[in-house]
Amino acid sequence: MTSCAHCVTGITHKGTPIGSIKQIGGHDTYVSLPKKDYSKDKAVLLLPDIFGIQFINCKLLADDFARSGLAVYAPDYLNGDPAPEPNPKVAATAHPSFLRVPEDQEKLLRLSKAPILINGAEVDQQYPIESQLKGDEILGSGKYEPGYKRIFWPGTTHGFAVRGDLNNPEVKMAKEGAFKATMEFFYEHLLGKALSSKL
């Protein structure tokens, strides 16, 4: 049996769990009990998915059952080794290659959950201005919900961010600017804070 894309992706819910982790039968178990009187001889055994009891969605689901008047026990049968939480690993690229336009941009719109930053070059046969503008049309103006940003770097050619001529002040500025913009994007979307001005 194989898993599908939906088995390992999803949205992390927001909320504050009301239960607690207790040792039961040698396993960490998330326990959520109703605040009012409840039956002591019946309970819900909640078996988490691959993300385990550490994932907040599991805890919040257990809490929902508890609010309905049932004691809930969710054991860590994965023994502290769940799959990584389904958060978007943020995407950034400079002067991308071999994109099928508009097919790949439309596919990104349909399937991706990660915020994306594109550092675009002025002269780029692989991702020319027309393709960059098409990407803006498909993904920009809030159409791509996770977040889309494209920065245009004038005076640059394909490859400037990794192998540009650093003796050219415009290219050097663009290379350093693209790096800084990428780090700022990562900090904003991964850590929810601004990048230190020391960079």
- Structure-model confidence comparison of residues 33 and 49, the more confident one: 33
Amino acid at residue number 71: A
- Structure-model confidence comparison of residues 6 and 148, the more confident one: 148
| Listed residue (118, 113, 114, 35) closest to 72, CA to CA | 35
* Sequence-separated (6 or more) residues with CB below 8 Å from residue 73: 24, 29, 30, 31, 43, 44, 45, 46
The region, left, alpha or beta by phi > 0 then psi within -120 to 50, assigned to residue 83 is beta
pLDDT for 13? 87
Question: Are 39 and 68 contacting, i.e. CB atoms less than 8 angstroms apart?
Answer: no
Per-residue pLDDT at 115 exceeds 80: yes
pLDDT for 83? 73
The rounded percent of the chain whose pLDDT value lies above 70 is 89
* pLDDT tier at 88, thresholds 50, 70, 90: low
pLDDT for 50? 86
* Sequence-separated (6 or more) residues with CB below 8 Å from residue 119: 92, 93, 94, 95, 150, 151, 153, 161, 178, 181, 182
Return phi, psi of residue 155, to 5°: 75, 15
Per-residue pLDDT at 1 exceeds 50: no
151-177 mean pLDDT: 95
137-152 mean pLDDT: 96
Instruction: Confirm whether pTM is higher than 0.75.
Output: no
The rounded percent of the chain whose pLDDT value lies above 90 is 75
Tens-digit pLDDT profile for residues 11-21: 788 899 999 99
pLDDT for 186? 87
Q: Whose structure tokens read 């994109």?
A: 99
Per-residue pLDDT at 125 exceeds 60: yes
The pair of three-digit structure tokens given for residue 184, joined into one six-digit string = 């700022």
As a whole number of angstroms, the longest Cα–Cα distance in the chain is 77
88-100 mean pLDDT: 88
Rounded Cα–Cα distance for residues 115 and 109 (Å): 11
Rounded Cα–Cα distance for residues 133 and 115 (Å): 18
- The lowest-confidence range among 87-91, 135-139, 184-188 is 87-91
Question: Are 108 and 96 contacting, i.e. CB atoms less than 8 angstroms apart?
Answer: no
